Amino acid sequence: MPNPTATTANPALLPSPALFDVTTIAAKDVEGTIERVALDQLELAANARRDISEEGIERLAAMLMRTGQLVPCIGHRAAAAAPVLLYDGQRRLLAARASHQLAGGDGFEGLQPVQSLIVLLLDHQPAPDEIRRIQAQVNNAREDLSLADQQEQLRDCWDARAGLSEPDRIAAVCADLGISPRKAHNLRRQLTLPDSIRARVADRPSGEQLSVTMANRLADMHQVAPELTDAVARRISSSDLQEKAQRDLGAFVHRTVIEDERTYAVRIDDGAMLDAAEQIEHARAHLTPGARQQLAGILDANADKLDAELDTLSARARARARALKLRITPEIRSRARAGRYAYVHHRGQDFAAGIWVVDPVFMIDLARDALQTGNDEPARDETYFAGARIDDAELRDAAEEDRQRKQQARARQAEATRANLGLGHDIRAGLLDPTAGQLQALKQIICHLLAHQYREVIAYGAAWTDPERQQPVGDTGRHEPRHTDAILTAELDRALADPDPLRGIAQLAARWAAAFVLHPDGVTRTKALGTERMARKLSDALPGGESPLRTAVWEFLRPMLSPTLASLNRDTFINDHSDETTVDLDKHRSASDLDELDLDEPHADQAA
């Protein structure tokens, strides 16, 4: 309702007058006429829209050829024979022109090109202000559908096109909505997600929102692992975590399973040895009512006696001479993948896929099968005397002992291999979000390595750049470096005491790097930390020539150097390969004539 306290309105915000006044109901005609104008009679006025998608023009051309023009363009004809200048309808005119090349082609079969457009002709030449208002309303007033609305729009259109083959159905939906096949596939995959996850998808995500790429990967995961998908989506609570998930989803899933005990997912790496009893108990805790019914059928037990049967399985797995181990083979991994019992993360053709079993029934059935068939026992080795059929108790005992020894050795090797591969996964997952304690430990590692490897170099760089690392020489007024061990201990303590791990590392690295840019006139030659004694150590620490290390040292030190030191050391770190010459090439390449050339001809006086 009108504001009674409103002051006089800004004149610039008032129409003068409005092109098409819709604020009143007046018995007068609209300010213009509607005509059908041939394409060759249409021209475009200047328009603020300059970045136009070619793919979008093709989709609009298809819609014009299939459904016709729904909204008239706006233009003006200055004279009866003059062309119509369009102020609104830029993309429609470009699409209409493009239809002549597209009609009948691939994807546009049976369509006829657009020959004319419907135009609302203004009864006067609009002023520049009016033109800007027209184009601003057309370009800015239309608000795109939200991603959730686009998903529902595609769902309705998809259902309406039921009965067509998959490719034809996609093509029909794209034609109906004017979207690309890629967009349609993305929206379809998003529709498979739970509403709680789908509501977080955004074209330009921020905070807890999910990108379209992340939503697509979660949709693929949701097809086989709904609970794991929910857990991963819950953990993506910031833009930083989403970036880590997109960079390495396998490591992110691994970290999620470790942190979320409610989520059931068992990683099965090739060659891994899993404790059967532990897997039975772990899977048992995650059985749903439907899974319990399915498992009762597999174990041929009544539903009310399923717990007793599982107790028996677990007890049998523990009652063996050695706890029953489930050896993960390529066949088991293939079975879990093919039966859709597991989520598979593909890491490229050079690496084995990461596989997480998400069906607890699969793992219990795997343990049951191992107990029945005894497939956890390694194949029995032939002995030297087996061919001779010697049947002696002592030899049999020796053979059994040898078999058990080899079996244990193979089990230890398999367990060690699994532990090593698991360490790799754990490292990648742990580095996604290192703790403050880990960063402090990293500082300790690097600083102690530097101090141990480059003891004299660090002391040399610190001794001549920090007065606190020097001591007076009698009453001469001169100063010399302290003992090397004292300097190194002081520098190491200062670096380790810095609360910022990166700055602490930089403290010690800067003293090491300073050793290579000292001004030689400010350093003695014969002392323990003099130039003569340190020359060889400096050469070994940072060899000459081009190397990434020398480049990194210069990039690190250059912002901290004075102009004098920068000029003095530049040629030491930067190699300029431009060829030097004393020949004036510009002079010799310039235009010349025969009179300027010395052709060793006799002078005129000699000729006379």
Query: Pseudo-torsion of CA 476, 480, 483, 488, nearest 10°?
Result: 150
311 found inside a domain? yes
CA distance 126 to 144: 28
Q: Which of 360, 366, 341, 410 is nearest to 274 (CA)?
A: 366
235 found inside a domain? yes
Lowest mean pLDDT among 92-106, 428-442, 504-518: 428-442
- End of a domain among 430, 453, 470? 430
Residue 594 scores a pLDDT above 70: no
Note whether 374 and 280 are same-domain residues.
yes
CA distance 555 to 566: 11
pLDDT value for 428: 78
pLDDT tens profile 483-524: 989 999 999 999 999 999 999 999 999 999 998 988 888 888
The amino acid at residue 228 is: L
399 vs 13, residue with greater confidence: 399
Listed ranges 29-33, 266-270, 385-389, 545-549; the one with the highest mean pLDDT: 266-270
Q: Which of 257, 196, 262, 201 is nearest to 232 (CA)?
A: 257
Conformation bin of residue 104: beta by default, left when phi > 0, alpha when psi is -120 to 50: left
Pairing, β 470-472 against β 479-481: antiparallel
Output helix, strand, coil percentages for the chain, rounded to the nearest 5: 55, 10, 35
Sign of the Cα torsion 308, 309, 311, 315 reads: positive
Count structural domains, the chain.
Answer: 4
pLDDT tens profile 102-126: 988 887 888 899 999 999 998 888 8
Can you list the pairs that 136-142 forms with residues at least 24 positions away whose Cβ atoms lie under 8 Å? 136/48, 138/88, 139/48, 139/49
Note whether 568 and 549 are same-domain residues.
yes
Residue 218 scores a pLDDT above 80: yes
CA distance 543 to 550: 8
8 found inside a domain? no
Residue 93 scores a pLDDT above 50: yes
CA distance 548 to 573: 11
Note whether 375 and 395 are same-domain residues.
yes
Listed ranges 261-275, 290-304, 317-331, 521-535; the one with the highest mean pLDDT: 261-275
pLDDT tens profile 443-468: 999 999 999 999 999 999 998 899 89
Confidence of residue 320 (pLDDT cuts 50, 70, 90): low
Note whether 314 and 371 are same-domain residues.
yes
pLDDT tens profile 161-202: 888 888 888 888 888 888 888 889 999 999 999 999 999 998
Residue 494 DSSP class: H
Note whether 459 and 560 are same-domain residues.
yes
| pTM of the predicted protein model | 0.53
Note whether 376 and 477 are same-domain residues.
no
Confidence of residue 587 (pLDDT cuts 50, 70, 90): low
Note whether 541 and 448 are same-domain residues.
yes
CA distance 203 to 211: 6
- End of a domain among 140, 158, 187? 140
CA distance 336 to 136: 57
pLDDT value for 224: 92
- Whether residue 462 contacts residue 492, with contact meaning beta carbons closer than 8 Å, is answered with no
* Domain of residue 102, residue span: 32-140
Note whether 375 and 291 are same-domain residues.
yes
Confidence of residue 370 (pLDDT cuts 50, 70, 90): confident
- End of a domain among 140, 175, 204? 140
pLDDT value for 576: 57
260 found inside a domain? no
Q: Would you call 322 exposed, middle or buried from its count of C-beta atoms within 10 A (0-12, 13-18, 19+)?
A: exposed
Question: Considering the chain, what is the average pLDDT of its residues?
Answer: 82
Pairing, β 42-44 against β 32-38: unpaired
Q: Which of 531, 524, 452, 463 is nearest to 492 (CA)?
A: 452
461 vs 525, residue with greater confidence: 461
Which spans in 320-435 are helix H?
Answer: 330-338, 360-373, 393-430
